[in-house]
Amino acid sequence: MKWFGFWVIGVLTAIFSPCGIAHELRPAYLELREVVPGEFAVTWRTPYKAGQPALLPELPEICRQRGPAQVEQRPDASVHRWRIAVSAVALRGAVIEFPGLTPELMDVLVRVVWREGPGWTSVVRGAGGLRIPYQPTARSTVSRYMVLGVEHIWFGFDHLLFVLGLLWIVRGWQRLVGTVTAFTLAHSITLTLAVTGSMRLSAAPVEAVIALSILLLACELARNTRGLTSRHTWLVGFGFGLLHGFGFAGALAEVGLPSGAMFWALAGFNLGVEFGQLVFVLALVFCRLMWRHWVVRSDGWRSDGWFVQLPVYGMGTVAAFWFFERLAAFP
């Protein structure tokens, strides 16, 4: 039933609205980039979080720091930069430690870039060291970026709300499959174009229009009439999917792609996004069927009035908040 979708929207809106974030990975970031043979530039960026203790990586003992670290305080993060003396050969197989790191605190994205050969990227969760591999493989690159893609889609709250609203406007299984396929194809196209540098859009207006797309869906759901979206769902899904692809590209740009394995990293991230989206859609379909079977059949059940409209208005309110918040962030 349609009102089941509305209440799923309400629950997700209540969960997501305090966050006010979307398409955001927000891990700490450590990069070791070989600038000349025997010397690496180190970048350590940590996002600001309330009550967060100071966290610094422990590089292998073979790394000798050259000069003091330069510290830059940004509105949303602290960035440390310094140089280390170590050979590329010696760095392979070495272990980087993160004392005090816990899964509840944050994840750490680690990237190593060599002058020759593909770079390497991995994610650290919780205590323990991270060993730099001797030779990154295509399989390891795909798997690491696939995990990042899944995490991004599941924590991309505005994207999930848009997909949810789109699903409950669609009538019929064939149109549902067509709409999801069009949306998937569209954001895959723009993600690839943006990451490869073939097409670029500023992040601020893209994020604002994404929020506006959710607001438009909420308005149509609230009117409960067959508007443009319900008549041409695949077209709307494809059009806004192009826009959401640029949002994905912005998050991936924060992570970075290994220069020598860009294809495998992009493929892994895209697969992760699609897998995460598929799991979300299938979970909604399953819950909807269970709701119909166990709840709707009960006597005296009503599906009209404020019970239906309240979650939709909540979705529209959150989308409007995101929209004006992102407009205010324009330079």
pTM beyond 0.95, yes or no:
no
CATH of 28-136, one of 3.40.50, 2.60.40, 2.40.10, 2.30.29: 2.60.40
C-alpha distances in Å from residue 130, one per residue of 18, 94, 236, 272, 331? 33, 8, 44, 22, 38
Contact 91, 101 (CB under 8 A): no
Question: In the chain, where does DSSP find H-type helix?
Answer: 2-16, 88-91, 138-154, 157-169, 173-195, 203-223, 228-231, 233-255, 262-291, 306-328
Residue that the structure tokens 């994905």 belong to: 248
- For the chain, which residues make up each domain, given as ranges? 2-23+155-328, 28-136
- Torsion from C-alpha of 90, 95, 100, 102, nearest 10 degrees: 140
β-pairing, 28-36 with 107-113? parallel
Tens-digit pLDDT profile for the chain (331 aa)?
A: 444 444 444 444 444 444 444 444 567 889 999 999 899 999 999 887 655 667 889 999 899 999 899 998 887 788 999 999 998 888 888 899 988 887 777 788 888 888 876 677 888 877 677 888 876 677 777 887 888 888 888 887 888 888 888 877 777 777 778 888 888 888 889 888 888 778 878 777 888 888 888 888 888 877 766 666 667 788 888 888 888 888 888 777 766 676 667 788 888 888 888 898 888 888 887 877 776 666 555 544 445 555 556 777 888 888 888 888 888 877 6
| C-alpha dihedral sign at 167, 235, 330, 204 | positive
